[in-house]
Structure 1
Amino acid sequence: MTQTTSSPSPIPTAHGNLAPAARERARFATMALFFIAGMAYASWGVHVPTVRDKFQLDPAMLSVALFVLTGGSIAATVANAKWIARAGTRRACLVGGLVMSASMALILAMPTYALLLPVLAAFGAGMATMDVAMNAEASAVEQALGRPIMSSLHGMFSLGGMIGAGIGGLALSHGMASAVHMLLAALVCVVVLVVACPAVLPHIPHTESHHGGARASRWRSPVLWALGAVALIALIAEGAMYDWAAVYMRDVVRSTPAFASAGYAAFTGAMAAGRFAGDVVRARFGAVQLVFASGSIAFAGMVAALVLPFSVTALIGFAMMGIGLANMMPVLFAAAMRVKGIHAAEGLAHVASIAYVGLLFGPVLIGGVAQVANLSIGLAVVALCAALVAVIGPRVLKRLGV
C-alpha cells in the first residue's frame, strides 16, 4: 500500500537551506501555536454553559451564538486567504492570535446578548485566521524537516484543549470568576504569541504546483470535493463535541460544573493521545484502515455515552470519541495536500473551507434537534456522522491510492 499521506512533500529550496537549529525552533514554535489555539478554544468550550446561564439562553438562542462564532470563522477563512498568502504565516499567526485573545477576554465581560454576538464573531475570525496560517506553517515545517509531523502538531492543539479545560474546571471549582479566568487565558495566549512567532519559518510564496506540470483548478477537482465532504461530516461530530459536551454532562448526566469540565477534558485528552500516536499508526497500518477504525471507535463511544448517561460511562464514551476523531483532520488534510496537479496549500484550503461548514452547521443542527426533542437525540447525530465517516472515508482514500 502506498503511504502517500505519510511522507512529506519535497522541501522548498529556501526552507531546505535553513540550519537544522532554525528548523527545530520553527517546529517548537508551531507546536506552541497549536497548543494555545487548543487552550483558547477549550476555555471557550468550558464556558458555553456559563454563557447560556448568564444570558438565560434557550437551546435555539445558544445555537445562534454558536452559529455566529463559526460564521465568523468561515467568513475570515474566505476573506483572509489572499492576505495570509501576501503577509505570510508568521504575521498572520500573530495578528489572528491577537484578535482571538482580545475577543476571548471580552466574551464574558459583555453585558448583553446583542453585544456578545459580534465579540463571538471576532473570536471565530481570529481563531480561523490563526488556524489557516498555523496549518500552512505546519506543512512548511514538515517539508523542511523531511518527516511527517502533522498529526503530532494537531495533537498539541488537543493537549492545549485538555489542559485548558482542566484549568477551567479547577477555576470554576475554586470559585474564580469566569470572566477573570477567560482574561488570564487570553494573557497566556498573548505571551506565547509574542515569544513564539519570531521563530516561525519565513514566508516563501509558491506559484507552481509541487507535483510539477500544469496546475488544475481546485474548484473542479472531484477528489478534493470528496475529501471535503468526508471532512465536513467529521467536523460536524467534532464541533458538536466541543460545543455540547459540557452541556450534556451538566443537563443530562447531571454532573457538577467541575465534573462537566472533566468530560470535556476526557474528549480532548484522548484526542491528543490519539494524534500523538497518529503518525506512527498511519505509517504502520495505512490511512484507509486508520480512518475505518477511527470512525468505528467514535461511533461506539458516542452510543455508549448516550445509552448509558452516567458520569463514568459518559467519560469513557467521550474519551472513545476523542480517540476516534483524533486523526480525521490530519489524515484528510495530508491527503488534500497531495492531490495531483493541485498545490498543497490550495488543496488544504479547499478541503478546510468545506469542512468548516460542518463546524458552522453541526452545533446548530444539534441545538435544533435538542430544541424539538432533547439533547440526547440531538447528539445521536454525532454517532451517525462517525458511522458515515467509517463507511465513506476509506472508500474516498482508496480512490486516491493512499
Structure 2
Amino acid sequence: MQTNTLLRARLGTMALFFISGALYASWGLHVPTIKEKFALSDIMLAVALFMVAAGPISIITHIGVWVARAGGRTACTAGGLFVCACLALLVWIPWFALLLPLLVLFGISTGVMDVAVNAEAASVEIALRRPIMSMMHGVFSIGGATGAALGGLALSAGMTPLRHLLLVSAIGAIVALIARPALLPPADTRAAAQPRGSWRGLWLLGSLACVAFIAEGALYDWTTVYMRDSLHTQYGVAGAAYAVFSAGMALGRFFGDPIRARLGNQKCVQLSGVLACIGMSIALVWQTPWAALAGFMLTGLGLANLVPVMFAAAARVQGAHAAESIARVAGMGYVGFLLGPVLIGVIAHIATLPVGLSLVAICAALIAGFGPRALRGQASGNE
C-alpha cells in the first residue's frame, strides 16, 4: 500500500478520534444542564443515562459485525453524522418523554462511531506495521479536553446550551465528511486486517476492556456533577475537572507506546491500575476542589493506556479477522462505557455520589490485580 495513502488514512482517523472526543465532551458538559432543565433526581438522571446505554447494548454484536463488513468510510461517516444530529437536539427537546428515545438514538450512533474509528485505527496500524493505537486514543483525549475547555469558556461567556451544541454538531459533521475520502477503502480495510485470534481470547480482552470502560465512562459523565453537587464549585471549575481528566488521559496515551515497549503489556496494565486507584482515592477522600482536580488528573494518567493495550492485543489474537476482533472488544468495552454512569447514578441514589464514584477505584484495583492474568498468553506483540 502506498505511503501517501496510509498517511492520509492516519490523519483522517486522527481527525475522527479528535472530533469524537470533542462531541462526547460536549455531551458530558450538558449532563448537569439536562438534570437542571428537567429537575431530575440522581435516579432519574441515571434512567436518562441508561437510555444512552440501552440502544447500543441491545444491538452491540450487530454493530461490530456491520462495522467490519461495511468498512471504515461508511461506518465512520454514518456514525459521525448521526451523533452530530442527535447532539444538536439534546437540549432543544422540550419534554423528558421525548428526550429518552433521542438518547437511545444518540447512544446507538455513538456506539457505531466508537467501534468504527477503533476498527479503522486497527486496520491502519496493521498496514503501517507499527503501533499507533495509544496515540489515536491520545488524540481522542485531546479532543475531549479541548471540547470541555472551550465549551466551559463558551458557556461561562454567556453562550446558551442550545447554541453551543448546534455549533459543535456543525463542526463535527464537517470533519466527518472531510475525513471520509482519506480513510482506507473497504477493500484495503479487509486486506490490512489479517485473519487471527480465538474467540476465547477476545472474550478475556473484552471483559478487561469492559471494566476499564466502566471507570472511564463514569468519570466522563459524573465529574462535573461531583464538582458542582458534592464540592459546590462554580460551573467553570466543574468543567475544569472534565478537562484535567481528559488531559491526563491524553498525556498518558501520547507516551503510551514507548512505555508499553519498555515495560510490556502486563506490567503496564498493572501499574496503570494502581495509579488510577490512588488518583480516585485522592479525589474522594480529600473533598476539596484542588485535591479533586489532582486526583482526576492522576486517574486519567492511570486509565490512559488500558484500552489501547486491549485493542492492540485484540488485533493480534490468532484465528479471527483483526478489524472485527477490534470491533468485538470495543463493543464489549463500550457496554462498560455506557453502563458505568448508570451504575454510579444508582449507587448515588442509594447512598451518596462519592460512594458511587468509589466504583471507579474498585475497577482500577480489579484491573491491577487481574489485568496481567488476562493478558498472559495473548499475542500482544509487546511481550
Range into which the TM-score falls when normalised by the shorter chain: over 0.9
Corresponding residue to 1:210 among 194, 202, 208: 194
Q: Which residue of 1 aligns with 2:315?
A: 337
Deviations 1:110-168 (A, max 9, x none): 00111111111111111111111111111111122221101101111110000000011
Indicate yes or no: 2:174 matched with 1:191: yes
Q: Aligned partner of 1:89: which letter?
A: G
CA distance in 1, matches of 2:44, 2:96: 9
Q: Aligned partner of 1:248: which letter?
A: Y
Aligned ranges for residues 157-176 of structure 1 at < 5 Å? Answer: 157-176=140-159
| CA contact 2:214–2:360 (8 Å) conserved in 1 | yes
Deviations 1:228-266 (A, max 9, x none): 221111111111101111100101111101110000000
CA distance in 2, matches of 1:26, 1:225: 29
| CA contact 1:76–1:129 (8 Å) conserved in 2 | no
SS state at 2:184 partner: coil
Indicate yes or no: 2:133 matched with 1:155: no
Indicate yes or no: 2:280 matched with 1:308: no
Indicate yes or no: 2:114 matched with 1:131: yes
Q: Aligned partner of 1:170: which letter?
A: L
| CA contact 1:70–1:124 (8 Å) conserved in 2 | yes
Alpha-carbon RMSD = 1.7
| CA contact 2:12–2:180 (8 Å) conserved in 1 | yes
TM-score normalized with structure 2 length? 0.95
Shift of 1:31: 0.2
How many positions carry a matched residue from both structures?
379
| CA contact 1:333–1:348 (8 Å) conserved in 2 | yes
Indicate yes or no: 2:272 matched with 1:294: yes
Summarize the Cα distance change of 1:165–1:209 in structure 2 as closer, same or farther, 3 Å threshold: closer
Q: Aligned partner of 1:361: which letter?
A: L
CA distance in 2, matches of 1:174, 1:346: 44
SS state at 1:400 partner: coil
Q: Which residue of 2 aligns with 1:348?
A: 326
Q: Which residue of 1 aligns with 2:338?
A: 360
Q: Which residue of 2 aligns with 1:90?
A: 73
CA distance in 2, matches of 1:321, 1:168: 22
Corresponding residue to 2:85 among 90, 94, 102: 102
Structure 1 range deviating more: 173-182 or 81-90 = 81-90
CA distance in 2, matches of 1:78, 1:111: 33
Corresponding residue to 1:396 among 354, 360, 374: 374
SS state at 1:108 partner: coil
| CA contact 1:236–1:382 (8 Å) conserved in 2 | yes
CA distance in 2, matches of 1:226, 1:239: 20
| CA contact 1:35–1:158 (8 Å) conserved in 2 | yes
Q: Aligned partner of 2:117: which letter?
A: M
TM-score normalized with structure 1 length? 0.90
Summarize the Cα distance change of 1:146–1:183 in structure 2 as closer, same or farther, 3 Å threshold: same
CA distance in 1, matches of 2:46, 2:135: 31
Aligned ranges for residues 318-333 of structure 1 at < 5 Å? Answer: 318-333=296-311
CA distance in 2, matches of 1:355, 1:145: 25
Aligned-pair identity (%) = 50
Corresponding residue to 1:200 among 179, 183, 188: 183
Point out where structure 1 has 5 or more consecutive residues left out of the alignment.
1-16
Corresponding residue to 1:60 among 29, 33, 43: 43
CA distance in 1, matches of 2:85, 2:121: 24
CA distance in 2, matches of 1:183, 1:97: 14
Q: Which residue of 2 aligns with 1:9?
A: none
Q: Which residue of 2 aligns with 1:373?
A: 351
